[in-house]
Amino acid sequence: MRIAVLGTGYVGLSTGVCLSEVGHHVICIDVDQQKINRLRQGISPIYEPGLESLLLKNTAAGKLHFTTSHQEGLEKAEIIIIAVGTPQSNDGAADLSYLVQAAKDVSAHLKPDAIVVIKSTVPVGTNDYVRSIIANHTKKPFKMVSNPEFLRQGSAIKDTMKADRIIIGSEDNEAALKIQEMYRPLNVPVLMTNVKSAEMIKYASNAFLATKISFINEIANLCEAVGANIIDVANGMGKDKRIGEAFLQAGIGYGGSCFPKDVKALLHTAGQYGVDFSLLKETISINESQRQLLVKKALERFQQLKGKKFAMLGLSFKPDTDDMREAPSIVISRLLHQAGAEVIAYDPVATENAKKVIGNTIQYAESVEEAIKNADALLLVTEWEEFKKLDLAEVTKQMKQPIIFDGRNSLAEDKIRACSKIEYYPVGKPSIVIN
Ligand SMILES: NC(=O)c1ccc[n+]([C@@H]2O[C@H](COP(=O)([O-])OP(=O)(O)OC[C@H]3O[C@@H](n4cnc5c(N)ncnc54)[C@H](O)[C@@H]3O)[C@@H](O)[C@H]2O)c1
Ligand SMILES: O=c1ccn([C@@H]2O[C@H](COP(=O)(O)OP(=O)(O)O[C@H]3O[C@H](CO)[C@@H](O)[C@H](O)[C@H]3O)[C@@H](O)[C@H]2O)c(=O)[nH]1
C-alpha cells in the first residue's frame, strides 16, 4: 500500500519506519526542513533504540522516503496517517492547531477516496471536527479512521511491531477493513469500534496508567511512614492478575510528553460535559507533589540547602530517551536553584535537550565521575542502566559526603551494603545508613 505519514516525531517516524519494514511504500512528511534533511541522510532526529537501523535499511530499499512537500507526499497516497503533535494549551485542553493545519494540508493535495487516519491523541469529537475541516476545503471524496497510538518512548519500535492491540475506530466498514489490512503483517490483535470510543480508549488508557502510578506513589509514601517496603508491597499486589505487575514502580512521579498532558486534557473534556472527574485531579496533584520528593528528603536531611552541591544523575523523563518534556529533573533543578544549592547534572543522552529547558541554572557534566566529585549528595533521577552498574563504594569515596537519594529505587541493596560508609534514601522503603 502507498502510505503518507504527516509528522516525523516519535509516533510518525516509528509508524512510518515500521510500516515500511513490513512491506508498505511509505513517505513521511514534516514541515521541519532540518528534520527531513537529517532523515534523508539516515540520521534519526530522536534517540530511540532500533529506529536508526530500520530507517537506513528501508530507505536504502526504496520503501521509505522523506519530504517537506505535502503535494509530493500526499498526491499518490491511498492512506494518510496524521501524527502531528497535540500539546497542552494553557487551560489544559489539547491544542489542536497543528492538527487543524495538517487537515488543511491534507485537503489541498488529497487523492480521491484516500483514507485519512488520525493517529495523534485527540479528544472525543476531534475526528468529526477534522472531517468537517477537510470537507470544507475539498470536494474530493475521502474516508476517516481513528487509530490512536500506544507506543512508549524508549521502546517505540518494539511497541509498534509487537503492540498489545491496534484500535481502529470508524463508521465506515470498508475503510476500517483497509486499515486492518495495512496492519495485517504485524499480526497484532485488532479491536474495531466506533470513532468516539477509539478516541476515548486512548485517554482512558493513559489516565488509568497515570492513576496507577500516583496510587503506588501514595502507597510508597505510606510505606515510609509505617515502616513497610514498597518493593515487596508492589510485588505482592502485582501477583494478583487483576492488578498486574506493570506500572507499580514507585518513584518521583510520571513525566513525558503524554501522561501529564493527556490526564489534563481528559479532565478538561470531563469538565466540558459537566462531569467532575475528581479522581484525575488527585492523580495530578499527587504527581506534582511526588516530583518534589527528593528535594523534601534532602531538606529533611540537611535542614538547609544553600551552598550544598548536588550531583543529579539523569535528566530525561525516563531512560532510553533524550526527551525532556515534563521531566521531573526540571522541577528538581528549579527547586534546588531557588534554595541556593549547586547542581551538576549528567545524562547519557539528554544533556543538549536539557540545556534548552533548564538552561544555566545548573551545570552539566560529561560523566558520572565529573558530576559526583565533591558532591554533598547524589540524586538519582532517571534509572539509566549505566547508573545501576555504578561501583557505589567508589562513587561514595569521590563525594564530599556519601549520601544518595534514589528517586527510582534503582540501586541494588547488596551494592549499598558493600559500602563502608553510606546514607541511602530510597522511595517507600527503609533507608540504609552505614557509619
Ligand atoms: N510521544 C509518544 O510516545 C506518543 C505515543 C502515543 C501517542 N502520541 C501522540 O502522538 C502525537 C504525536 O506525538 P509525537 O511525540 O510524535 O510529536 P512530536 O511533537 O515529537 O512531533 C510532531 C511532528 O509533526 C510535525 N508537524 C507539525 N505540523 C505538521 C504538518 N502540518 N505537516 C507535517 N508535519 C507536521 C512537527 O514538525 C513535528 O516534527 C501526539 O498527539 C501525541 O500525544 C505520542
Ligand atoms: O511503574 C511506573 C511506570 C512509569 N513511570 C513513569 O511514567 C512516565 C511514563 O512512562 P512510560 O509510560 O513508560 O512512557 P511514555 O513513553 O510516556 O508512554 C506513555 O505515553 C504514551 C503516549 O501517549 C503512550 O502511548 C504509552 O502507552 C504510555 O505508556 C515516566 O516518567 C516513567 O518514569 C513510573 O513512575 N512508574
380-410 pLDDT per residue, tens? 999 999 999 999 999 999 999 999 999 999 9
Catalytic residues: 258
Distance 67 CA to ligand 2 centre (A): 30
- Give the residue from 159, 191, 223 where a domain finishes: 191
Instruction: Flag whether 56 is in a domain.
Output: yes
Q: What is the number of structural domains in the chain?
A: 3
Instruction: Indicate if 264 and 412 belong to the same structural domain.
Output: no
Residue 126: CB partners within 8 Å, gap ≥ 6?
Answer: 94, 96, 99, 118, 199
CA 16 to mean position of chain CA atoms: 18
Q: 283: Cβ below 6 Å to ligand 1?
A: no
pLDDT band at 341 (very low <50, low <70, confident <90, very high): very high
Cα four-point dihedral sign 276, 282, 283, 285: positive
pTM, rounded to two decimals: 0.96
Ligand 1 centroid to residue 82 C-alpha, Å:
8
Residue having the nearest C-alpha atom to atom 28 of ligand 1: 98
Would you say 264 and 92 are in contact if contact means Cβ atoms under 8 Å apart? yes
Residues 234 and 343 reside in one and the same domain: no
| Same domain membership, residue 37 and residue 23 | yes
The answer to whether residue 196 sits within a structural domain is: no
The distance of Cα 410 from the centroid of its chain, to the nearest Å, equals: 19
Report whether residue 195 contacts ligand 2, using a CB cutoff of 6 Å.
Answer: no
- Per-residue pLDDT band for 314 (boundaries 50, 70, 90) equals very high
Ligand 2 atom nearest residue 321's Cα = 16
- How much is the average pLDDT of 351-359? 97
CA 328, 258, 283, 202: dihedral to nearest 10 degrees? -160
Is 7 within the bounds of a domain? Answer: yes
For position 231, what pLDDT does the model report?
98
pLDDT at 5: 98
Assess whether the C-beta atom of 249 lies below 6 angstroms from ligand 2. Answer: yes
Residues 373 and 239 placed together within one structural domain of the fold: no
ipTM over 0.95: yes
- Rounded to the nearest whole angstrom, what is the distance from the C-alpha of residue 313 to the centroid of ligand 2? 19
408 near 249, Cβ under 8 Å?
yes
Do 216 and 240 sit in the same domain of this protein? yes
Domain membership flag for residue 24: yes
Question: Is residue 284 in some structural domain?
Answer: yes
Of 289, 305, 338, the position where a domain reaches its end is 289
- At 241-291, the pLDDT tens digits run 999 999 999 999 999 999 999 999 999 999 999 999 999 999 999 999 999
Each residue's pLDDT tens digit, 145-183? 999 999 999 999 999 999 999 999 999 999 999 999 999
